Amino acid sequence: MSADFLFGVEVLLNGLMAGVMYSLVALGFVLIFKASGIFNYAQGVMALFAAQTLVGIQTGLIPFSHLINAMLGTKIHHFGWNVPTFIAILITIGIMVLFAIIVEKLILKHLVNQEPIILFMATIGLAYFLEGFGDLMWGAEIKKLDVGIPQGGNLWIEESTAFLGGDDFYGFYLDTLDIYATVIAVILVASLILFSQYTKTGRALRAVADDHQAALSVGISLRTIWVIVWSIAGFVALVAGVMWGAKSGVQFSLSLIALKALPVLMLGGFTSIPGAIIGGLIIGVGEKLFEFLIGAPFLGGATENWFAYMLALVFLIFRPQGLFGEKIIERV
């Protein structure tokens, strides 16, 4: 096989791995949107907050230490212990569930039956609040996140695929962290789908997504479902935050991964779980291949920054409801 072709395959694989992560982030949006009609602007900040919390607990940071020090004149920062990763993850999950309960109690409960735009505005407020709260709780500096997954090119894959090409092909270069992230995201997405298809709570989730009135009439409590959905979204945010955070540090820019989910949602439709998955893969592969085939050789590169949005725009013109979204038919 020619080296060019193999490089193309390598680009494709990397695109698929990036795509799985986009799918995961988009899934967080879709879950909440389906269950409550809310476009959750805070999804990205939730990922940041979850990652901050995980690092904070793991490294034994004292929450609100800056605030405490400023008020009491103390100089405390660390508890002086490290919490094992697994336990820190469990505690973080607990905190995200608590967050879901608080969101329901303080916001959603009071805004039932409001216009979507009002709910959207509420999540904008929530996003800024959570961003500030996260910084206040754990400090705003960039933190290194280490959950024990090795980083860098995977030697084993590189060596065992080198034979595919000729002398100028050295094997596929795939980052180990990306491989882990992909496997975890695939497992997570698959279990979410299984959960929603084959358990009674999953069935209740789908029922609420379909028709609120009917769901109430069979005895489903919307508020309980909202807590569950926001908890799941919090968990998805944690996974996304950890994977991105492990790569580039836990810092504000992490919350911008939400922006990457937007074109995925436009492609896949806001209400479709398969749409979020396929949309994520198309964008992941599309932006890497476009850069490889057209961007780098002809356009001076760096097309990855805008390709997804352009693709989404083109798509919006021809199929505004997304790949799998329900057809929008206005009753007249």
Binding site for another protein (CB under 8 A): 191, 195, 198-204, 206-207, 209-211, 213-222, 228
**Nearer to another protein (CB atom), residue 52 or residue 271:** 271
Q: What is the DSSP string of 1-55?
A: --HHHHHHHHHHHHHHHHHHHHHHHHHHHHHHHHHH----TTHHHHHHHHHHHHH
**Nearer to another protein (CB atom), residue 87 or residue 256:** 87
**Residue 55 · residue 138 · CB < 8 Å:** yes
**Nearer to another protein (CB atom), residue 87 or residue 216:** 216
Is 160 in a helix, a strand, or coil?
helix
Rounded to the nearest whole angstrom, what is the least distance from the CB of residue 221 to another protein in the complex?
A: 5
Rounded to the nearest whole angstrom, what is the least distance from the CB of residue 205 to another protein in the complex?
A: 11
**Nearer to another protein (CB atom), residue 86 or residue 195:** 195
Q: Which amino acid is at 74?
A: T
**HSE, side-chain direction, 13 A CA sphere, residue 302:** 1
Least Cα distance to 268 among 32, 23, 73 occurs for 23
**Nearer to another protein (CB atom), residue 217 or residue 318:** 217
Is 219 in a helix, a strand, or coil?
coil
**HSE, side-chain direction, 13 A CA sphere, residue 218:** 10
Rounded to the nearest whole angstrom, what is the least distance from the CB of residue 212 to another protein in the complex?
A: 9
Q: What is the DSSP string of 98-131?
A: HHHHHHHHHTGGGGTT--HHHHHHHHHHHHHHHH
Rounded to the nearest whole angstrom, what is the least distance from the CB of residue 325 to another protein in the complex?
A: 12
Rounded to the nearest whole angstrom, what is the least distance from the CB of residue 234 to another protein in the complex?
A: 14
**Nearer to another protein (CB atom), residue 219 or residue 300:** 219
CB count, 10 Å around CB of 37? 16
**Nearer to another protein (CB atom), residue 2 or residue 191:** 191
Rounded to the nearest whole angstrom, what is the least distance from the CB of residue 122 to another protein in the complex?
A: 22
Rounded to the nearest whole angstrom, what is the least distance from the CB of residue 306 to another protein in the complex?
A: 34
Q: In this structure, what DSSP letter does residue 288 have?
A: H
Rounded to the nearest whole angstrom, what is the least distance from the CB of residue 195 to another protein in the complex?
A: 6
Cβ contacts of 190-194, under 8 Å, gap ≥ 24:
192/27, 192/31, 192/232, 192/236, 192/273, 193/273
**Nearer to another protein (CB atom), residue 194 or residue 313:** 194
